[in-house]
Structure 1
Amino acid sequence: MSQFSKFDPTAIRIAPALDVEVKAVGDGHIAGYASTFGGKPDRAGDIVAKGAFRRSLVEHAREGTSPAMLWAHKIEEPIGKWATLQEDDDGLHVVGRINLKTARGREAFEHISAGDAGAFSIGYLIPEHGRQYNRDGSFTLTDVDLVEISVVTVPANPRARIATIKSLSSKAELVDLLHEAGLAKTAAARVANAGWAGLNGSDYHQKALRLLASIEAATARLRSE
């Protein structure tokens, strides 16, 4: 159990923002990595360990709740809702949708589209024994209570990217998006040829978003090495 009330805004810690590269914007869907595992410490001196979000995600699922989607960590300014949150080998992958029926949602949508807001940042609590001190002075976060994930303007961690996507209507559009995500044009064509059929179905948006985000995360890691 946490040493703080889970949703006490005065106790929430804010992680440095993650770099974002907006690829395309359609009906408000956004996806990407809200946090990445391992690597160098972020600007706050923290390293997130794989599994750090596991307990919190289980609790959210059990209680039927979700971390808030906020604008710049302002609890009074929700801009949408996160639909899926899942840990994988790279980090915490999230998929959500901005509420374009609200004024703040539309404004956030326009800022993202224009490139004014280009980052994710998480708000979280650290339960007792949730982080470990490292010899180099950094800390490893092993267990956190995930409270919210914000769209913000200041980037910090170049290893994580977020992708937003429009409705894909053709294989050519998928090739273009994969190319923009970091693949060479010929490689993008090969991936699209092999994967287009797998994007069929009611959840093809989320499948495409996860594919793009994974490519971006891998590309960012290569560029940072």
Structure 2
Amino acid sequence: MERLFFETKIAATDTGEITGLAWPFGSADRVGDLIEPGSFKSATLPLPMLFGHDLNDPIGVWSSASEDSTGLQVKGNLLINDVARAREVHALVKSGAVRGLSVGFVTKKSVTRKGGGRTISALDLLEVSLVVVGMHPGARVTSAKSAIHAIAMAEAINRAAERLRG
């Protein structure tokens, strides 16, 4: 399995929902690889969500993976209620310590690019990982929902209301 790391837009909510741009089209990663539009269309869902491409460290599931004009957009959930490591990674994403995404795949068709790297036109997508530093500077978490934040906000509102009541 090949792994291409790149810093992407990813975001996590308090409920563990993660969205991100897993691969941006139109620019090469740090080793010169380009993946062409259409290459991800055969992705089979759900896809494993791993941390750092560690096959022994599944932390969630990607329920959506679709191409748009910017690249491969992904959406899924960290299993924060069931997997301790997912809770840890969620905290790292929320803090900004983990902000990259990386795709793990098998190349089916590619050509070598002048100056290094490849242009990949067909692949089998196996997984998408959350990573500290990605190979592609454009791949990142865009949102991360947080129930913990919502609960903390509700508690703060309740405390303020209690103080106002006297």
**What's the TM-score bracket when you normalise by the shorter of the two chains?**
0.7 to 0.9
Q: After superposition, where does 1:89-104 map in structure 2 within 5 Å?
A: 89-101=69-81, 102-104=83-85
SS in 1 for 2:55: strand
Instruction: Give me the whole-angstrom Cα distance separating, in 2, the residues matched to 1:76 and 1:21.
Output: 22
Instruction: Give me the whole-angstrom Cα distance separating, in 2, the residues matched to 1:44 and 1:145.
Output: 20
1:202 paired residue number: none
**Structure with greater contact order relative to length (CA < 8 Å, sep ≥ 6):** 2
Instruction: Give me the whole-angstrom Cα distance separating, in 2, the residues matched to 1:28 and 1:20.
Output: 16
1:119 paired residue number: 100
Structure 1 residue ranges without an equivalent (≥5): 1-11, 168-225
Q: Deviations over 1:24-74 (max 9, x none)?
A: 6321011011111122x21122011111111x32xx2xxxx4221001111
SS in 2 for 1:113: helix
The CA deviation at 1:165 is 4.0
1:14 paired to 2:3: yes
Q: After superposition, where does 1:44-193 map in structure 2 within 5 Å?
A: 44-54=31-41, 56-57=42-43, 60=44, 65-101=45-81, 102-127=83-108, 130-166=109-145
SS in 2 for 1:75: coil
Instruction: Give me the whole-angstrom Cα distance separating, in 2, the residues matched to 1:52 and 1:18.
Output: 20
Q: Percent of counterpart pairs with the same letter?
A: 32
TM-score, with structure 1 as normaliser? 0.60
- Count residues in correspondence: 145
Q: Deviations over 1:97-129 (max 9, x none)?
A: 1001210111111111122211001110012xx
Q: Indicate the structure with greater strand content.
A: 2
TM-score, with structure 2 as normaliser? 0.79
For the aligned residues, what is the CA RMSD? 1.8
Q: Could you tell me whether the CA contact under 8 Å between 1:33 and 1:94 is conserved in 2? A: yes
